[in-house]
Amino acid sequence: MPKTIPKKKTKTKTMPYDVAAQLRSPEEMAAYLDAWLEEAPDDAAGIARALGDIARAKGMTIVAKEAGLSRESLYRALSADGNPSFATVLKVAKALGVKLHAEAA
């Protein structure tokens, strides 16, 4: 009976997925936000996180400056526990170069 050679165990290396790294153009950023608005229109926290993902892709410091907010308050507002005011959402959207869209339901 031939000897079997044990296979060398290899470990699969994984890395956390960061959607911000995939958002490279204004069109991709707008499509990502639009998908959130379409698929989960009642998920305010999810939509705020999506804005946060886009802000990280563009650069939080740049977005905070253009929105007239401190970087820390922007991080806080767009975090999982954040609850940004509508005024903040509008300022961030403008700083990101995206427009919110409405249509008849």
- 1: pLDDT strictly greater than 70: no
**CB contact at 8 A, 103 and 38:** no
**Computed from CA positions of residues 49, 50, 54, 55, in that sequence, does the dihedral angle turn out positive or negative?**
negative
* Residue 2 pLDDT level (bands cut at 50, 70, 90): low
**CB contact at 8 A, 46 and 36:** yes
pLDDT, mean over the chain: 90
* Residue 91 pLDDT level (bands cut at 50, 70, 90): very high
Q: Which backbone phi and psi does 63 adopt, to 5 degrees?
A: -65, -45
pLDDT per residue as tens digits for the range 9-54: 778 888 889 999 999 999 999 999 999 999 998 998 999 999 999 9
pTM listed for this prediction: 0.81
Please tell me the chain's helix, strand, coil percentages from 3-state DSSP, rounded to the nearest 5: 55, 0, 45
**CB contact at 8 A, 80 and 49:** yes
